[in-house]
Amino acid sequence: MPSDTPRRTRPIVASISAAALRHNYSALRAAAGMETLAVVKADAYGHGAALCAPELVAAGARWLGVTSVDEGIAVRHALRGAAADIPTHILVMCGLWQGEAGACLDHALTPVVWEPYQLHLLQAEGERRALPSGSVPVHVEIDTGMARQGVKPGAALHDLLTCLQTTPVLRVDGAMTHLASSECAADPQNTTQMDRFRQALEQVQRAGLRPAWVHAGNSASLDSGLMPHALPALAATLGTRPMTRTGVALYGYALPLESAAPHVEPHLRPVLTWTTRIVSLRDVAAGSTVGYNAAFVAPRPMRLALLPVGYADGFRRALSSSTHQPGGAVLIGGRRAPVVGRVSMDLTVVDVSDLPDAAIGDEAVLIGSQGAEHIGADEHARLANTSMYEVLCGISDRVPRVLS
C-alpha cells in the first residue's frame, strides 16, 4: 500500500553534526564561565531546531531561546523525546501576542515581556486556571539603547513595575537587555548600555523584586570578552545569577571583531554541511551561451555539470557569474568548481573542465569542507553583500536537515 508521506529523494541535504554542535556549546559555556542560554530561534539559524535542541540540552544547556510561542512549542515537542527527563527552560525572546498565553502556559514557556498588555494576557489566563501567586515566570526586557523591544528605564519601567503589582500570578524570574554593538568591545555604546542596565536593575530592586537571573549579550559579546567580564560583576552587586546568550557561534560562526583583540577564542566547528550531487554533464563549444539572458558566454570549450539546487533552496542568485564577473563556487573532488551563468530557481551550472573525472552522482559541497578546501556561509554572505545569519536562515525548508 503506497505511503501518504512522500520520501525525500532529491539529492540535496544539509547534514548537521551533533558532535560539532555539542563541542561548540561546551567551549562557549567554558569561555563564558556562567550559565549560557543557547539560541535556537529561526529553526536554529537554519540548522533545524528539532535536531539541535536535544543535542544542546545533552551538552548541558538548560536554557534555550526561541523567537515566538509557536517556535517554543515545536522545541518543547522535540525535547519530549531524547531530552524528556532533563529540566529545560525555553525563553520566548520576542514576547507573546493575543491568544498565545494559554499555549505559553501549556508548554511551560517563559515569555519575555515589556508591554503592560502582555502582563494582562498572562494574568487573565492564570486567573482562568486558578493558578497560585507567582506561578508564571516572566523575563522583563530593558531597552538600554536598541530602541527595538523592551521597556525604557525610568518612568516607563516604573509603570510596568506598577502593573506587575496587579498581576500576582506572574513572577519576575529574569531581567535582560540586548547590546547593539557587541562585536566592537571598545564601542562606548556598550558601556552606556550596561550602565543603563545596572540602573534599571536597581530600579527593579527598589520595587521589591529580585529576579533570579540577569542576562545580556550574544555570540560577539562573549567572543570579545565583554560579557565574561561585565555581567558576573553586575550580578554579584545585585545578589542574583548571571546568564549570557549565544546564537550563531553555536553553529560554528563568529562576527569579525572590531577595535579590540578577542579576549576568548573558543575553537568553533561549523555544524552544517550542505551538499548536492551532479545530475547531468555536458560539453559546450567556445561561444556557447549558458543560462538565463546569456549572461555567460563560454570563452573556450568547457565541460559543465548540472546541480539540482537553486535560489528556491537558498543557494543565492547573487552567486551567479557572467562572462566578465566571477561568482560563487562549489567543491567537487576536493577542488573548486565555479558557478557558470545565472543561478536559477532550481538548478545551477558549474564548470568542471579541470575535473576530468567528474561523473554523474559525484558529491558537490555548497557549504562545508571537501579535501583541503572549505566554503563557509560567510563566503556566500560576502558575495551576496549580506550576513552569514541571512545565508544560514535562508536555506529553505525543501532542503532536508539530517543529524550526522
Question: Active-site residue numbers?
Answer: 41, 292
Identify residue 129 by its one-letter amino acid code. R
Which stretches of 299-351 are assigned E, i.e. beta strand? 302-307, 329-332, 335-338, 348-351
Reduce the secondary structure of 111-168 to three states and give it as a string.
EEECCHHHHHHHHHHHHHCCCCCCCEEEEEEECCCCCCCCECCCHHHHHHHHHHCCCC
Residues 6+ apart with CB under 8 A from 57: 64, 79, 82, 83, 86, 88
- What is the C-alpha radius of gyration for the chain, rounded to an integer number of angstroms? 24
Residue carrying C-alpha cell 529523494: 9
Who's near 230: CB < 8 A, 6+ residues apart? 194
The dihedral built from the CA positions of residue 320, 326, 327 and 333, taken in this order, carries a sign that is: positive
Q: How many CA atoms lie within 13 A of 161 on its CB side?
A: 21
Closest CA to 238 of 193, 198, 207: 198
CA distance 75 to 50: 6
Identify the sign of the CA torsion 307, 313, 314, 316: positive
Residue with cell 508521506: 5
Q: Give the span between the Cα atoms of 398 and 311, in whole angstroms.
A: 11
Q: Give the distance, in angstroms, between the CA of residue 264 and the centroid of all CA atoms in the same chain.
A: 21
CB–CB of 47/16 below 8 Å? yes
Burial category of 346 from C-beta neighbours within 10 Å (exposed 0-12, middle 13-18, buried 19 and up) = middle
Parallel, antiparallel, or unpaired for β 296-297 and 63-66? unpaired
Of 147, 151, 146, 273, the residue nearest 218 (C-alpha): 146
